[in-house]
Amino acid sequence: MPVNYYIFLSVALFCIGIAGVLTRRNAIVVFMCIELMLNAVNLLLVAFSKMHHLAGLALDPGSTAGTEAQLFVFFIMVVAAAEVTVGLAIIVMMYRNIHSVDINFLNRLKH
């Protein structure tokens, strides 16, 4: 399958993510959209990695060139998981305090 399809898919996912972040007010939805953007990037990384790796294999059957990007994907997933835990904790605290998860209520650094 040509790499173009992967690119189009990930661009579409990224744009959906941006649109969601920009338009939604619900903190949880915003959060999900950020995850969407991260995963769009992950998808792109994997696709390019595969492409490079295939090109490298054609020259040398034992090559591992191009596989590094897949490691980055793991990093991103780990970091995203950590971020989600912190972020969700913040949202829970926020709901406890103001009984809402609307991000527009968070326009002041202190009350």
Residue 104 sits in the site that holds other proteins (CB under 8 A): yes
Q: What is the dihedral of CA 11, 16, 18, 19, to 10 degrees?
A: 140
Q: What is the x/- site pattern for other proteins, positions 37-76, by CB under 8 A? A: ----------------------------------------
Between 7 and 18, whose beta carbon lies closer to other proteins? 18
**Window contacting other proteins (CB under 8 A); options: 42-50, 75-83, 92-100, 102-110:** 102-110
Residue 110's SS3 state is: coil
Q: From the centroid of its chain, how far is CA 51?
A: 21
Handedness of CA 103, 104, 109, 111 (dihedral sign): negative
Between 79 and 106, whose beta carbon lies closer to other proteins? 106
